[in-house]
Structure 1
């Protein structure tokens, strides 16, 4: 490829990634991340040309030009709202088999557009290719999907007797695409009465060397126990589904 790209008369605004939420990725399923943006262009730019492309890149690193790792969206579908403004939508597919644990954490997004202007995309003369980039447009966390379980026993139990509450906190490991215990993490044991819709924290414990959780409480009334994890930079928050205990 010869030459250098020319500035394309395109600007970007209102860029959204995953509806403003962090992105959690497990061990097997490809996560399809919605992205959208407003594209404003000069009248001389034909955004519906077959060789015009616009999209969003999600990347880890210092900048769009100096990224360590990235995922690009498909070519955005743009709908004109005026002669020079369009609303665009696309999807970024994130495959967990392409990730390593070191990729979890802070990521950024950049919006881009390329007009090949009749050049062969495989071997263009860059002097005729227009490029526009807005970087960064967003920041977010790419996180290792988390799971949390709970089991309160015995069931039923007599009032005043001891209830043992066990569980496990685990998260996706992108190095081997399996779930492993998340160790030495603070997790809240929470309880809500059968007649209530609100959980309150009973105590905070830490997961052990395999992610297991275990503690005891005194039975007082019918209700639900659950564990709750607040999350970290690399791992999203998660609540276990409440386990009902019949107190007699």
Structure 2
């Protein structure tokens, strides 16, 4: 098996996580290029592997709190000669997305030769465990608030002849700041027809301070589920205050549970609080 090299991606003074590319291609990187797996010969290699079925986190949005988050990028690589190597990453660039200014790369650099599992003589399934760490030191840090949102997917595969296929923008995937919600209904028990107050909070992860903080000015739904049913019904929509606090009132009608639900945004994940059951007398 050929020796591979790690090539550090650099954008100005910003040194990003090293990404493995074949050593044979290391000198072919275009001058000034800082895209994952970028190499002129890999892009131009005739008859390189076919890459398909790329999936990030099983198709679900990646939501990260204030600690390390790992998830998988999977894809299928196929070539008549068989697959020797594959890798993938998420990256974000500048205004024109022509340089990787942030990179989420593999969590374990010690197992590179085992990222792809053979399905048959021509096909392999590659699984890359990716690390997102808001507590990593800057400038090497992976996550900060400004980079919550849509990331580019980069994939690379190489056949057993050394021909590589790369796609810097196979697609996109969202990496969002995690949110938390709470809800408490009072009084409990309560007489039918009386006013019930549900109070709680909406907070979200701050990747710059590594703490959760109140999420102000957001639309939050108060939902109700009658005891013995599985259906949640929206009672009303309220806004979180400057500290992320939410409060709503409603008339008690029957035994059931209440919760607050936030639908999320392009930078923040959706969340529902735990249900709080209320007895109506």
Q: What does residue range 190-229 of structure 1 map to in structure 2 within 5 Å?
A: 190-229=223-262
The aligned counterpart of 1:54 is 86
Could you tell me how far 1:90 is from its partner in structure 2?
Answer: 1.7
Structure 1 residues 21 and 2 mapped into 2: Cα distance closer, same or farther (>3 Å)? closer
Which of 148, 153, 158 pairs up with 1:109? 153
Q: What does residue range 1-248 of structure 1 map to in structure 2 within 5 Å?
A: 2=27, 6-7=41-42, 8=45, 9-28=48-67, 30-41=68-79, 43=81, 47=84, 53-61=85-93, 66-73=99-106, 74=108, 75=112, 77-97=115-135, 98=141, 99-113=143-157, 131-248=164-281
Quick one: higher RCO (CA 8 Å, sep 6+), 1 or 2?
1
Which structure shows the higher strand fraction?
1
CA RMSD of aligned residues (A): 2.4
CA distance in 1, matches of 2:216, 2:69: 26
After TM superposition, where is structure 1 displaced by more than 6 Å over at least 4 residues in a row? none
CA distance in 2, matches of 1:218, 1:92: 48
TM-score by length of 1: 0.84
Q: How many residues align?
A: 230
CA distance in 2, matches of 1:194, 1:71: 44
TM-score by length of 2: 0.75
Instruction: Give the unaligned 5+ runs of structure 1.
Output: 48-52, 118-128
Structure 1 residues 2 and 145 mapped into 2: Cα distance closer, same or farther (>3 Å)? closer
Q: Contact 1:64 / 1:136 at 8 angstroms: preserved in 2?
A: no
Instruction: Give the unaligned 5+ runs of structure 2.
Output: 1-25, 30-38, 136-140
